[in-house]
């Protein structure tokens, strides 16, 4: 098997954020793409909010038309008047430890409902007849060019994603009509909140997208507010040590689950608890997150050699997004890195398609070169975030301990110095500072 016959075709397994975004780019390039999604077309995937920043925007710019891109940007929500925000790290007594939004060196992010984003990316693929629901991938076959077929019943051979050991995750969201939003304590305004204390981690954020008319004009919904009440929501998450949670928590009644949530933070500030009372009653998503461990640079070669199966680590099977670098959510980078992958892979696929168009064949060594280049860029970038997101530990730092508080004090000082240096650098630089998230201004 030396080369792929033209036409060049791509199959994507899964129409999540990464797969759908990449499929949009391939369609725009005129590349034949088919997407297979295991879920039913009517499956409503939980629409928790996610916060996206520069890497996701770069992926979107690479794959989407400017019109599609800007229609999605309108669905991002500001919080407390700012289009983009970085989180505040707050102690369990609500003392502010570090406000990352004050530091220009910390990338700004904006929230969007994951379900809304996923639909905005997947629906055009479905409309183009390229997305097939209720089709679950179970195995792949490498089909040789020409006549012969090689069957490969085993997977690619990179089994590096594992459930985390120590913590259990609880997450919920509730609708946030303007009336409810305005009743929140003022302390809850001003960017998402993160707390790491008592061997738990806590997250709270609001999603308040603006409402637009069909001409793209922002509408005033209630006096002085223009939030789209059909989409506005807030989300709270708590990660607790597994041994603290009853083994059958997920099977218990919703009331008991919420009692457990509230009880876990009963010694924390009233504002932490206010959020819980606001969201109480909404379905709680209780799960054990999975995390990837960093593959070796030459993993494809090693799995092929160690298994004696040349189809393991095959260069025609590419892994992108959570399929290779699943990470814990606290740093909000899983989707960002996943969508960035789509942009990088998009460029590689366009190059291979170009070869297919001009020579009618894509030599295996070209595919191998492209996937290795992609992985050489992706592995250090994405796995740095797997590490920064705590690796497989939801509470790598605990501000109930002196060392945790000291760490955040040091972070604030380092960020302050970096910002000052950046500011001084700008004074002496003739070039304007690069804004990596201009869409959020």
Ligand X SMILES: Cc1cc2nc3c(=O)[nH]c(=O)nc-3n(C[C@H](O)[C@H](O)[C@H](O)COP(=O)(O)OP(=O)(O)OC[C@H]3O[C@@H](n4cnc5c(N)ncnc54)[C@H](O)[C@@H]3O)c2cc1C
Binding-site ranges for ligand X (CB under 6 A)? 13-19, 36-39, 48, 50-52, 114, 136-137, 171, 237, 321-323, 329, 332-336, 338
* C-alpha–C-alpha distance, residues 243 and 388, integer Å: 25
CB of 263 to ligand X, least distance (A): 21
Nearer to ligand X, 3 or 88 (CB): 88
CB of 313 to ligand X, least distance (A): 19
Nearer to ligand X, 82 or 144 (CB): 82
* C-alpha–C-alpha distance, residues 78 and 210, integer Å: 8
User: Are the CB atoms for 421 and 218 separated by under 8 Å?
Assistant: no
Nearer to ligand X, 322 or 366 (CB): 322
* C-alpha–C-alpha distance, residues 370 and 360, integer Å: 17
CB of 38 to ligand X, least distance (A): 3
CB of 91 to ligand X, least distance (A): 22
CB of 216 to ligand X, least distance (A): 26
CB of 118 to ligand X, least distance (A): 7
* C-alpha–C-alpha distance, residues 298 and 311, integer Å: 15
Nearest to 22 by CA among 321, 381, 343, 326: 343
* C-alpha–C-alpha distance, residues 257 and 108, integer Å: 34
Q: Which residues contact 411 (CB under 8 A, 6 or more apart)?
A: 98
Beta bridge partners of 210: 227
CB of 332 to ligand X, least distance (A): 3
CB of 53 to ligand X, least distance (A): 8
- Helix ranges (DSSP H) in 290-429: 299-307, 322-325, 334-359, 364-388, 402-428
* C-alpha–C-alpha distance, residues 186 and 166, integer Å: 34
* C-alpha–C-alpha distance, residues 88 and 104, integer Å: 14
Nearer to ligand X, 311 or 336 (CB): 336
If DSSP codes are grouped into helix, strand and coil, which group holds residue 263? helix
Nearer to ligand X, 284 or 356 (CB): 284
State how far the alpha carbon of 52 is from the alpha carbons of 17, 105, 264, 289, 307, in Å: 12, 16, 29, 20, 39
CB of 369 to ligand X, least distance (A): 24
Nearer to ligand X, 335 or 355 (CB): 335
Nearer to ligand X, 34 or 104 (CB): 34
Nearer to ligand X, 137 or 409 (CB): 137
Nearer to ligand X, 320 or 371 (CB): 320
Nearer to ligand X, 119 or 269 (CB): 119
CB of 378 to ligand X, least distance (A): 12
* C-alpha–C-alpha distance, residues 264 and 368, integer Å: 50
Q: Which single residue brings its beta carbon nearest to ligand X? A: 16
CB of 435 to ligand X, least distance (A): 19
Q: What single string gives the DSSP state of each residue in 177-194?
A: -HHHHHHS-GGG-SS-EE
CA 193 to chain CA centroid, Å, is 18
CB count in 10 Å sphere of residue 131: 23
Nearer to ligand X, 327 or 412 (CB): 327
Q: Looking at residue 157, what DSSP letter applies?
A: S
Q: Looking at residue 206, what DSSP letter applies?
A: E
- Strand duo 161-163 + 290-292: pairing: antiparallel
If DSSP codes are grouped into helix, strand and coil, which group holds residue 164? coil
Q: Looking at residue 401, what DSSP letter applies?
A: S
């Amino acid at each position: 098997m030396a080369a792929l016959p033209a036409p060049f075709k791509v199959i994507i397994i899964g129409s999540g954020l990464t797969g759908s975004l990449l499929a949009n780019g391939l369609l725009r390039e005129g590349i034949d793409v088919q997407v297979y999604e295991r879920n039913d077309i009517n499956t409503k995937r939980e629409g928790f909010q996610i916060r996206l920043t520069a890497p996701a925007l770069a992926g979107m710019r690479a794959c989407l038309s400017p019109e599609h891109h800007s229609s999605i940007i309108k669905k991002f929500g500001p919080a407390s008047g700012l289009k983009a925000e970085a989180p505040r790290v707050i102690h369990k007594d609500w003392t502010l430890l570090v406000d990352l939004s004050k530091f220009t060196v910390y990338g700004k992010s904006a929230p969007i409902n994951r379900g809304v984003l996923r639909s905005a990316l997947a629906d055009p693929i479905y409309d183009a007849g390229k997305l097939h629901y209720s089709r679950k991938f179970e195995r792949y076959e490498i089909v040789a060019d020409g006549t012969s077929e090689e069957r490969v019943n085993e997977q690619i051979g990179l089994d590096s994603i594992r459930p985390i050991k120590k913590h259990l995750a609880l997450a919920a969201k509730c609708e946030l009509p303007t009336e409810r939003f305005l009743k929140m304590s003022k302390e809850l305004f001003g960017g998402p909140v993160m707390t790491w204390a008592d061997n738990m981690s806590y997250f709270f954020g609001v999603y308040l997208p603006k409402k637009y008319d069909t001409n793209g004009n922002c509408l005033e919904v209630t006096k002085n507010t223009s939030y789209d009440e059909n989409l506005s929501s807030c989300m709270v998450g708590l990660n607790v040590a597994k041994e603290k949670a009853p083994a059958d928590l997920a099977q218990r009644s919703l009331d008991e689950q919420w009692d457990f949530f509230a009880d876990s933070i009963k010694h924390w500030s009233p504002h932490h608890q206010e959020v819980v009372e606001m969201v109480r009653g909404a379905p709680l998503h209780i799960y054990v997150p999975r995390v990837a461990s960093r593959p070796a640079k030459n993993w494809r070669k090693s799995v092929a050699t160690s298994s004696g199966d040349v189809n393991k680590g095959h260069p025609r099977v590419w892994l992108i997004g959570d399929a290779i670098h699943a990470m814990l959510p606290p740093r909000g980078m899983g989707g960002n890195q996943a969508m960035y992958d789509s942009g990088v892979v998009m460029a590689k696929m366009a190059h291979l398609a170009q070869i297919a168009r001009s020579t009618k064949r894509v030599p295996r060594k070209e595919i191998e070169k492209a996937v290795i280049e992609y992985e050489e860029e992706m592995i250090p970038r994405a796995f740095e975030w797997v590490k920064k997101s705590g690796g497989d530990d939801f509470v790598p730092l605990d501000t109930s301990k002196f060392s945790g508080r000291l760490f955040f004090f040091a972070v604030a000082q380092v960020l302050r110095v970096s910002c000052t240096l950046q500011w001084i650098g700008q004074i002496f630089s003739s070039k304007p500072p690069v804004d990596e998230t201009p869409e959020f201004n």
